[in-house]
Amino acid sequence: MKNAQITLAAGAMLLAAATGASALEVKTGSDKVTATLYGQVSRAVMFADDGYEDKFFHVDNDNSSTRVGLKGEVAAAEGLTIGSVFEVEWQENPSNSVSMAEESIAGEFLSRHFDIWFKSQLGKLSIGKGNTASTDTSEVDLSGTAVASFSDLAVGTGFAFYDAASSSYPENGITVGSVFDSMDGLSRLNRVRYDSPSFSGFSLSAAAAESDASDVALRYAGEINGAKLEAAAAYANPNKGYGQINGSASVLFPFGLNLTFATGTRDLDNMPEGGDDPTFMYAKIGHICKDMFAVGSTAVSVDYGVYENVKKQTTGEEGTVYGVQLVQSLAAWNTDLYAAYQNFELEDASGADYEPVSVMMAGARIKF
């Protein structure tokens, strides 16, 4: 019954897209409550080469996945608004999960947000499953190309590195995703979260989540001499044997140039002998041209990242990634066309000669 109801909601979302609506207002059981149905579909063709095999894939782009949601809101009293979010994800062949051994992965509905919130002049209190305070603090990105690539590296991470020295894949496999980790907080959990009001562009968030996880984050959003600036920093304790500090910042200048930087480190409770804390650094430079084509803005960028000791927590493990991205907006249709190339490389102290994993992807995302 639940899947049937969600399918009906998805059908209504597609109807909204067909009629050109950016969102569909839903009739509720109370005149005081407003509800909006929204969503997006993000599909792509991906080609991957791990130095031993190469293959085409038809994927759902995990940088910005296919999803559908319903938002409700009511003005409960003067100065108090109560709202809720119900959002599920559907991914057939997720771009972060397919591999040379598994190119077809059946889709299923996964919960993203099941949330109730209360907002007043004192701030916002959220209860249920949703973003923790530290979520997205490694992912601040004003480049306009995040749908193609950003610090989370959610495309091609299911592929394993091939060892040319032994002419084999290492036992148990070393995947791209196990080496490249943006340490982006606690993600979405069942939690209680508080967000302070904004003071001169700054806001503070804190959350207490299931399994005794907790986090705190500071964010900034504003303009300085015409340049748009956003930044975030967080501390998270997932209660899994480590704590982590991470953050990111991005600036967009009025003439379209943009710069993005992200970094993070983990403090392990039980450091392996000869080990070192996992760390990462990621940088992107891009440009957004608003008048190249009449249909919408054109964004291009290149990125580079270094991810150390993420898998083995031993000194000498280093993953590097570089790539190039292009996103063309079709503003009147709420659609983005995107293309990206990413190259992943790994070195460690094992003596293995890992072949690079290169991934190319092109696709479209339409929002409703």
Q: What is the CATH number of the domain that holds 17?
A: 2.40.160.10
- Compute φ and ψ for 9, nearest 5 degrees: -65, -40
pLDDT at 19: 40
Indicate the range of 18-27, 57-66, 109-118, 322-331 predicted with least confidence.
Answer: 18-27
pLDDT above 70: residue 18 = no
Residues 6+ apart with CB under 8 A from 234: 133, 134, 137, 185, 215, 216, 217, 218, 245, 246, 247
Q: What is d(CA 162, CA 170) in angstroms, rounded to the nearest whole number?
A: 7
DSSP collapsed to 3 states, 171-211 = CCCCEHHHHCCCCCCCCEEEEEEEECCCECCEEEEEEEEHH
pLDDT above 50: residue 21 = no
Pair type for strands 202-209 and 80-90: unpaired
pLDDT above 50: residue 238 = yes
Q: Please give the residue that has the higher pLDDT: either 201 or 75.
A: 201
pLDDT tens-digit profile of 148-179?
Answer: 999 999 999 999 999 999 999 988 789 999 99
Nearest Cα residue to 182 out of 140, 223, 139? 139
Q: What is d(CA 198, CA 203) in angstroms, rounded to the nearest whole number?
A: 5
CA 42 distance to own-chain centroid: 13
Do the beta carbons of residue 343 and residue 361 sit within 8 Å?
A: no
Q: What integer best gives the mean pLDDT of the chain?
A: 91
- Bridge partners, residue 328, by sequence: 298, 337
How is residue 136 annotated by DSSP?
A: T
Coil, strand or helix at 66: coil
For residue 199, the enclosing domain spans 2-367
Q: What is d(CA 169, CA 159) in angstroms, rounded to the nearest whole number?
A: 11
Strands (E), the chain: 24-26, 33-49, 54-60, 67-77, 80-90, 109-120, 123-131, 188-195, 202-209, 214-224, 227-237, 242-252, 257-268, 279-293, 296-308, 318-330, 335-347, 357-367
pLDDT above 60: residue 2 = no
Question: 119: alpha, beta or left, given left = phi > 0 and alpha = psi -120 to 50?
Answer: beta
pLDDT at 269: 86
Number of domains in the chain: 1
Residues 6+ apart with CB under 8 A from 29: none
Q: What percent of the chain has pLDDT over 90?
A: 80
pLDDT tens-digit profile of 104-145?
Answer: 999 889 999 999 999 999 999 999 999 999 999 999 999 999
Place of tokens 């008048």: 291
Model confidence at 344, pLDDT cuts 50, 70, 90, reads very high
CA 180 distance to own-chain centroid: 14
Model confidence at 350, pLDDT cuts 50, 70, 90, reads confident
pLDDT above 90: residue 351 = no
Q: What percent of the chain has pLDDT over 70?
A: 91
- Predicted TM-score of the model (pTM): 0.89
Model confidence at 23, pLDDT cuts 50, 70, 90, reads low
pLDDT at 172: 78
pLDDT at 27: 65
pLDDT above 80: residue 231 = yes
Q: What is d(CA 197, CA 77) in angstroms, rounded to the nearest whole number?
A: 18
Give the Cβ contact number of residue 72 at 10 Å.
17
pLDDT at 10: 46
Q: What is d(CA 208, CA 216) in angstroms, rounded to the nearest whole number?
A: 9
